[in-house]
A and B are shown apart, each in its own frame.
Chain A
Amino acid sequence: MNLNNKHVTIIGAGVAGLTAACCLADWDIHVSVLEKTPFPGGHAIQLTCKATDTCVKCGACIAEVKLSGAIRKPNVHIFTGTQMESISGQGPYRVHYRSHSPLVNADRCNGCGICFKKCPVPGTILQGQAPRVGPYVAIRRDLCRYFDNAACTLCRDSCPQGAIHFSNEATAGELKADAVLVATGFSPYNPAAKPYGYGLFQNVITSLDAERVLRDHYLMKRPTDGRTAQRIAFIQCVGSRDAKSGHLWCSKICCGSSLRMARLIQSRQENAEISFFYIDVQTFGKNFHSFYKEAQENIKMIRAIPGDIINTKMDELQVIYFDPDTHSSRDAIFDLVVLSVGLMPSAGNARMAGELGWPLDTQGFMPPRSSPNQPVPKGVFTIGTATGPMSIAESVSSAEQTAFEIIHFLGER
């Protein structure tokens, strides 16, 4: 089959999009990947390896493998800082996009980190986790105060490499696409609405925050004082299994990811005392049974979801829960609380679905075509967590399976 005159546009450079890019590129298809953030790799590239000495098969490193794989292929082009604007045609489509030029010049930046220290707005300057395309350091336009009437230029002025260049330039472009693949992923649940003081108490963090802390600092450091947290609570199902919020699904990955993180912390911090508040523990991985047994022996497993957290005068966190053993209210003191947030439909799903004419399911995800007869736009496909909660391994599977469908589709035309 000769497909070297075919073009596919993939929207989203997470592990799903990158896997599909690798598969399609093997068939000499021209692949363009549009990524709205400054960095490719999606959520998975931000996660920490949870191996103690033995790999626990969390799959995080697969994101690196897929990213370096995609970058090595000459017929894959990753456009960072790029959003799809609109799509026209009946297939082949024309995909119209806008790219913002990066504010940090990758060739000049040497990653010294001075700009991080100068920036007055926390979270504005981002550090990528994988260095292979585009700049390694990026500035968020939506937060940077320069774009508020040039109110601040501290980072630009302090950069010894002269790598920062403020500009609002965006270039519009257009791609021909014989097929369009939606791989826009998920949004992590924002737990501000839950009674845990997230956003108010800095030592209450999400599991995604925790992944980053472990990755960057090796030990579980507290945001308020940088001390290593000894007493740590994980609260499961935050935002998942929540019919009241319209989330009648299990996010599938959080039990595995949090229990593995807990064991990782214990392997690095001998005295760490970890409590795990849960409803039901889900299965993850082939060695689940032995891993779970070990976890039960080393972690305090409490089958109840706490109702309240109080920040004490000592800057500790008092977690109030219903003790299933004594059947009464109890509290326990922790240095840090990790909220295992669920996987929610990506915030842009409705717009994306509208633009493409793809049906959203009742939960707001974009599931793949359920039957050959389902009337969906021809040549449009969806993969990964854009279609529903799943793990990295499942995202890879879904990308490979769909790549097969796409090749079949392109071969028929």
Chain B
Amino acid sequence: MENKAENGVRGKESLSAEVMIFGDSVCAQRIAANLVDNGIGVCLAAGNGSSPASIIQDRVQWLSDTRLNHCHGFAGNFTLQIDHGHNQLKKTVQAIVVAEDDSRSPNYSQYRLTPGLRVVGLSDLEEKLKHSMTESFSGTDTRIVLLCGWRKDAHPSVARRMLEGCLQLQAQPGVSTYFMTGNMKVASAGSEELVHKAKQAGTVFFKFTGVFPTIQPQENGYFTIDYPDESTRNTFQLTADWVVVDETIEPANHLELLIQKLGIDQDHIGFAQSDNVRRLSNFTNRRGIFVAGGSRGVLSHAEQLADADQVSLNVLSFLGDLDGEPLAGVTIKQGLCARCLTCVRLCPHRAIEVGSRITVITEACQSCGICTAGCPGRAIEMEGVHIGLETIQRMNHLLAITFVEKPRIVVFGCMRSAGQSHTLIQVSGQALPEGVGFVEIPCGGTIAGRHLLGAFEAGADGVMLCICHTDNCQSEIGNVVARKRAESTRDLLASAGVETERLRIVSLSANMGNEFVYRIKAFIKDIVLLNNPQKENKNG
């Protein structure tokens, strides 16, 4: 985005910041430029980065040599304590963006190589090519072998960069290139064309499925590579002047600390966003904290720039919403609260503030109800949600109808998954089987053992709890706590002499109307057998 003169150049000191951006990546800088273009004050905090590109230099606050110490507060009002050199800084901002670069390391060990004169990592190669330091690569009969994704598949964006490098090398006088790969990764825009171009330029490709080449370093620094070729069924030997290895892209080292201090979820690799489609594209478990570029996953250069625009839009929309009406929320009845802090521990969105009283921050709360169900003192209330009551009413309604053989079933279902599937089957003209009552809940996490037991007390023969699939919960852990709570309810049922099979936990998604019906029918069948054990004997 261009530097727009009308925004004026603001003095560095006098700048106020509404948004804090962590990182000095190209992505971070582009986000900063986008935001200042829209009149938003930005502070860029880089761990130890160099100064930002000139187009934003004078328009943003710039802090290098920083380390986040603490983050207080919530969406719209975060207070950050930052170590800045030897000083301590305090910043209050409305939103935070994590946009640290990723970290790239050459995969020497995958190829049983050690770094050396004639072994080049992909990033090093790119550096050399960028600065036209290619003399060392040219000369008569120079053979360069590119190693990509053998035992561990390469990311398509890495493979694409390998191909680009390969094409440039192949264009050097006297150079022959060989590309040795497991799966040829072409799932990146334009990659298939690049492969084709490289082949036309003279690069020779070898692909391997199970057996990979062996690479022997020679005394003179060259390498002997022995390999079986799958399509010609010959064994080949190649002496390489250079080998180029691909790289693994991982989260930056200091990302971990940021994640901890900001209280945001991380995926199994360590990126600052859980692997949950509900976080697409730049959201975290905390309102007002966004993640972009190399902080959220392996992204190509183009994708990182696109991410910057996306996250800018999200931040602008978020800031615009701050003035809007507060959301319907959750309140803690102070008289009942015992300050046990269970809710604080449970809340996946970090919406509960501990002060002289324990309070729920409306701006941050996403109304999952996990705290409501978890509070041992039943001190937390959710506006408009009275599951216990609703269940009893529904059960009374069911009981008013006399069933001969039909069991009475209560189905609790998350509104984001089972609720949607329920709508789907209703509109497609199917109805839930007779005797089944459906109670829509805001999240699996809203359900406590007492709701489940309440359903049994009200006369249900079976209770089915439908939650989102693991890793697909809008509130990250709603389904996990629901499962746990249901499992301990089972123990209670067992000690009361009720068959534990009468409580079933099922995971569903929003588009599973037919499966929803299928699962309910299967459950009814099992409950019928439990109700009439003789029948089972007859059948068996």
Question: A and B: direct contact (Cβ < 8 Å)?
Answer: yes
Find out whether the CB atom of A288 lies under 8 angstroms from the CB atom of B153. yes
Closest to B515 in A: A218
Is residue A175 within 8 Å, beta carbon to beta carbon, of the partner chain?
no
Docked-complex contact B429 and A241, CB < 8 angstroms: no
Contact mask B416-459 → A, CB, 8 Å, 1/0? Answer: 11001001101111100000000000000000000000000000
Query: Which of A27, A113, A248, A284 touches B317 (beta carbons < 8 Å)?
Result: A27
Nearest Cβ in chain B — how far from A257, in angstroms?
Answer: 12
Q: Can you name the residue of chain B whose Cβ is closest to the Cβ of A253? A: B187
Residue-by-residue, is A390-413 near B (CB-CB < 8 Å gives 1, otherwise 0)? Answer: 000100111011011101100100
Scoring A residues 105 to 132 as 1 if CB is less than 8 Å from chain B, else 0, what string do you get?
Answer: 0000011110000000000000101110
Known: A215-B514, A396-B281, A400-B314. A324 touches B507 (CB 8 A): no
Whether the Cβ atoms of A281 and B230 lie closer than 8 Å is: no
Q: How far is the CB of A276 from chain B (nearest CB, A)?
A: 13
Least distance between B98 CB and chain A CB atoms (Å): 17
B512 and A287: CB pair below 8 A? no
A396 CA to B282 CA in the complex, in Å? Answer: 11
Q: Does B112 lie at the interface of the complex (its beta carbon under 8 Å from any beta carbon of A)?
A: no
Q: Is the CB of A218 within 8 A of B472?
A: no
A211-254: CB near B (< 8 Å → 1, else 0) gives 00001111000000000000000000000010100001110100
Interface centre among B38, B187, B267, B426 (most CB of A within 10 A): B187
Q: Contacts A53-B469, A130-B424, A282-B186 hold; do A303 and B514 have CB atoms under 8 A apart?
A: no
B179 to chain A, nearest CB (A): 13
Residues of chain B from 193 to 213 with CB closer than 8 A to chain A in the complex: 193, 196, 207, 209
- Mask, B504-531, CB within 8 Å of A = 1, is 0001011110110010000000000000
Which of A61-69, A177-185, A330-338 contacts its partner? A61-69
- B514: shortest Cβ distance to chain A, in Å? 6
Is the CB–CB distance between A283 and B34 below 8 Å? no
Given contacts A255-B187, A280-B186, contact A397 B303 (CB under 8 A): yes
Instruction: Decide: B233 and A327 in contact? CB cutoff 8 A.
Output: yes
Partner of B184, one of A280, A398, A401: A280
Question: Which of A280, A327, A404 has a CB less than 8 Å from the CB of B310?
Answer: A404
Q: Does chain B have a CB within 8 A of A57? A: yes
Tell whether, in the assembled complex, residue B509 and residue A51 are in contact, meaning their CB atoms are under 8 Å apart.
Answer: yes
**B309 lies within 8 A of chain A by Cβ:** yes
Task: State A285–B233 Cα separation when bound (angstroms).
Answer: 34
Q: Quick check: is B183 within 8 A (CB to CB) of the other chain?
A: yes
A13–B123 alpha-carbon span in the complex (Å): 41
Q: What separation, in Å, do the CA atoms of A129 and B420 have in the docked complex?
A: 11
- With a cutoff of 8 Å between Cβ atoms, the chain B residues found around residue A65 in the complex are 278, 416, 510
Q: How many A-B residue pairs have CB under 8 A?
A: 175
**CB contact list, B283-324 vs A, under 8 A:** 297, 303, 306-307, 309-310, 312-314, 316-317, 320-321
Point out the residues of chain B lying under 8 angstroms from A64, CB to CB: 420, 510-511
Check B275 for interface membership: any CB of A closer than 8 A: yes
Query: Cα distance A127–B513 when bound, in Å?
Result: 13
Q: Are A218 and B469 neighbours in the complex by a CB distance under 8 Å?
A: no
Is B156 an interface residue when CB atoms closer than 8 A count as contact?
yes
Chain A nearest CB from B29 CB (Å) reads 16
Contact A51 B424 (CB under 8 A): no
A136 & B185 in contact (Cβ 8 Å cutoff): no
Q: Contact at A403–B313, with CB atoms within 8 Å?
A: yes
Residue of A nearest to B278 (CB): A65
- Indicate whether A324 sits within 8 Å of B209 (C-beta atoms), given known contacts A131-B428, A286-B267: yes
Cα separation A359 to B281 with both chains bound (whole Å): 28
Given contacts A241-B192, A397-B281, A400-B281, A111 and B429 within 8 Å (CB-CB): yes
Sorting the interface of chain A by its residue count into under 10, 10 to 19, 20 to 34 or 35 or more gives 35 or more
The reply on B502 being an interface residue by CB < 8 A is no
Among B193, B314, B420, B511, point to the contact of A248 (Cβ < 8 A).
B193
Kindly state whether residue A289 has any CB partner on chain B within 8 Å.
Answer: yes
Q: Are A61 and B281 in contact (CB under 8 A)?
A: no
Q: Is residue B152 contacting chain A, with contact meaning CB distance below 8 A? A: yes
| Given A57-B277, A61-B509, A113-B429, A401-B186 contact (CB < 8 Å) | no
A249 CB contacts on chain B under 8 angstroms: 186, 190, 192-193
How long is the Cα–Cα vector from A59 to B279 in the complex, in angstroms? 11
Distance to closest chain B CB from A340 (angstroms): 13
Q: Is the CB of B310 within 8 A of A393?
A: no
A282 and B509 contact, CB distance less than 8 A = no
Determine the distance from Cα of A110 to Cα of B428 in the docked complex, in whole angstroms.
7
B512: nearest chain-A partner, CB-CB: A49
Chain A, range 57-115, C-beta contacts under 8 Å to B: 57, 59-65, 68, 110-113
A404 touches B193 (CB 8 A): no
Q: Judging by beta carbons under 8 Å apart, are A110 and B424 in contact?
A: no
Knowing A51-B472, A130-B424, A327-B233, the reply to whether A398 touches B192 (Cβ < 8 A) is no
Q: Which of A26, A61, A113 has the most CB of B within 10 A?
A: A61
CB contacts (< 8 Å) of A400 on chain B: these are: 281, 309-310, 313-314
Task: Decide yes or no whether B280 CB sits under 8 A from chain A.
Answer: yes
Asked if residues A280 and B277 are in contact (CB atoms below 8 Å), the reply is: no
- How distant is the Cα of A23 from the Cα of B188 in the complex, in angstroms? 26
Contacts of B230 in A (CB 8 A): 303, 324
| Shortest Cβ distance from residue B456 to the other chain A in the assembled complex, whole angstroms | 25
A:175-214 near B, CB below 8 Å:
none
**Which of A55, A59, A129, A284 has its CB near the most chain B CB atoms (within 10 A)?**
A55
Known: A113-B429, A127-B428. A289 touches B152 (CB 8 A): yes
For B267, the chain A residues whose CB sits under 8 A away are: 286
The B-contacting residues of A in range 340-366, CB under 8 angstroms, are none
Q: Please list the 7 inter-chain residue pairs (A to B) with the smallest Cβ-Cβ separation, ordered nearest first.
A: A111-B429, A131-B427, A55-B472, A282-B187, A404-B313, A51-B469, A49-B509
Q: List 13 A-B contacts (CB under 8 A).
A: A26-B317, A27-B320, A49-B510, A55-B276, A57-B277, A59-B277, A280-B185, A281-B183, A283-B154, A284-B187, A303-B230, A403-B313, A408-B37
Q: Which residues of A contact B (CB under 8 A)?
A: 1, 23, 26-27, 45, 47-49, 51, 53-55, 57, 59-65, 68, 110-113, 127, 129-131, 136, 215-218, 241, 243, 248-250, 252, 255, 279-289, 292, 303, 324, 327, 388, 393, 396-398, 400-401, 403-405, 407-408, 411
